[in-house]
Amino acid sequence: MITSTSSFRESAPEPRRAPALWPLSPSGIAYGCDYNPDQWDAATWREDVRLMAQAGVNLVSFGMFSWANIEPRRGEYHFEWLDEVFDVLHDAGIAIDLATPTAAPPAWFLREFPEARVVDRTLTPLGPNSRGSACPASPVFREHALRITRALAERYGQHPALAMWHVHNEYGLPVSESFTPEAQQAFRDWTRVRYGSLDAVNTAWGMAFWGQTLGDWEDITGPVPSPSIVNPSLQLDWRRFNSDLLLSNYVAERDALREVTPHIPITTNFHSCPWVDQWRWAQEVDVVATDHYLRASDARGHVDLAQTADLTRSVAQGHPWMLMEHSTSGVNWQPRNIAKNAGEMARNSLSHLGRGADAIMFFQWRASVKGAEKFHSAMLPHGGTDTRIWREVCDLGEQLSRLDDLRGSRVQAQVAVLLDWNSQWAQDLEWRPSIDLTHGEQTARWYDRLWRDHITADFAHPEADLSSYRAVFAPASYLLTDVAAANLRNYVAGGGTLVVGPFSGVVDENDGVRAGGWNAALAEVLGVRVQEYCPLRGEDSARLQYRGGETLVADVWTEDLMVTDAEVLAHYVDGPRPGQPAITRHGFGAGSAWYVASDLSAEDLAPVFTDVYDTADVFSPELPDGVEVIVRAGDAGAFATVINHSDHGHQITVPGTDVLMQIAAGEALVQRL
- Catalytic residue positions? 170, 325
Binding to a second copy (CB under 8 A): which residues in 430-449? 431-436
Which residues on neighbouring strands pair with residue 459, listed in sequence order? 417
Kindly identify the residues of this chain, within the stretch 226-285, that bind a second copy according to CB under 8 A. Answer: 226-234
User: By CB under 8 A, what part of segment 358-417 binds a second copy?
Assistant: 367-375, 377, 381-384, 386-389
Closest to a second copy by CB, 211 vs 548, is 211
DSSP-derived 3-state class of residue 634: strand
555 near a second copy, rule: CB under 8 A = no
Among 518, 488, 524, residue whose Cα is nearest residue 506: 518
Kindly identify the residues of this chain, within the stretch 31-70, that bind a second copy according to CB under 8 A: 36, 38-39, 64-69
**Using CB under 8 A, which of 13, 32, 106, 354 touches a second copy?**
106
What's CA 416's distance to the chain center, in Å? Answer: 16
**Cα distance between residue 398 and residue 380, in whole Å:** 16
Task: For the segment 159-178, give every residue that binds a second copy (CB under 8 A).
Answer: 174-175
**Minimum distance of a second copy from residue 233's CB (angstroms):** 6
Q: Is residue 78 close enough to count as binding a second copy by CB under 8 A?
A: no
Distance of alpha carbon 35 from alpha carbon 401, whole angstroms: 20
Q: Is 634 in the site for a second copy (CB under 8 A)?
A: no
The piece of 140-148, 182-190, 211-219, 260-268 that touches a second copy (CB under 8 A) is 211-219
Q: Within a 13 Å sphere around the CA of 632, how many CA atoms are in the beta-carbon half? A: 30
**Min. distance of Cβ 568 from a second copy in angstroms?**
18
Q: What residues pair up with 639 in beta bridges, in sequence order?
A: 632, 672
As measured in angstroms, the least distance from the Cβ of 32 to a second copy is: 19
Interface size with a second copy, residues (CB under 8 A): 121
Does 191 interact with a second copy (rule: CB under 8 A)? no
Applying CB under 8 A, among 21, 24, 214, 633 the residue interacting with a second copy is 214
> Is position 9 an interface residue for a second copy (rule: CB under 8 A)?
no
- Smallest distance, Å, CB 341 to a second copy? 7
* Cα–Cα distance measured from residue 170 to residue 574, given in angstroms and rounded to the nearest whole number: 46
Is the CB of 70 or the CB of 264 nearer to a second copy? 70
Would you give the end-to-end CA distance of the chain in angstroms? 53
If DSSP codes are grouped into helix, strand and coil, which group holds residue 501?
coil
435 to each of 431, 440, 536, 538, 602, how far by Cα in Å?
8, 12, 10, 10, 20
Q: Which is nearer to a second copy, 202 or 610 (CB)?
A: 202
Long-range pairs, 210-213, Cβ under 8 A, ≥24: none
Under a CB-based contact definition with an 8 Å cutoff, are residues 400 and 520 in contact? no
Among 28, 127, 139, 589, binds a second copy (CB under 8 A): 127
651 binds a second copy (CB under 8 A): no
Closest CA to 283 of 69, 5, 542: 5
Measured from the CB atom, the residue of 28 and 517 that comes closer to a second copy is 517
Neighbours of 160 (CB within 10 A): 11
Site string for a second copy, 558-597 (x = CB under 8 A): --x-x-------------x---------------------
Q: Is the peptide bond before 607 cis (omega within 30 degrees of 0)?
A: no
Determine whether 272 is exposed, middle or buried from the number of CB atoms within 10 Å of its CB (0-12, 13-18, 19+): middle
Question: How far apart are the C-alpha atoms of 168 and 271, rounded to whole Å?
Answer: 13
* Residue 27 CB coordination number (10 Å): 11
Q: Are 282 and 288 in contact (CB under 8 A)?
A: yes
> In the set 279, 447, 533, 609, which binds a second copy (CB under 8 A)?
533
- Contacts (CB under 8 A) with a second copy, residues 312-331: 329-330
Identified binder of a second copy from the candidate list 205, 469, 473, 609, rule CB under 8 A:
205
Interface with a second copy includes 195 (CB under 8 A)? no
Q: Which stretch binds a second copy (CB under 8 A): 10-18, 24-32, 239-247, 426-434?
A: 426-434
Give the contact letters, 332-361, x = binds to a second copy (CB under 8 A), - = no. xx-xxxxx-x--------------------
Minimum distance from residue 258 beta carbon to a second copy (Å): 24
Q: How far apart are CA 659 and CA 670, in angstroms?
A: 13
- Round to whole Å and give the CA distance between 557 and 501: 11
665 counts as binding a second copy under rule CB under 8 A: no
Stretch that binds a second copy, among 46-54, 152-160, 291-299, 309-317 (CB under 8 A): 291-299
Q: For residues 394 and 382, give the distance between their C-alpha atoms in angstroms, rounded to a whole number.
A: 16
Measured from the CB of residue 571, what is the shortest distance to a second copy in angstroms?
17
According to DSSP, the residues that pair with 418 across neighbouring strands are: 460
> Smallest distance, Å, CB 114 to a second copy?
11
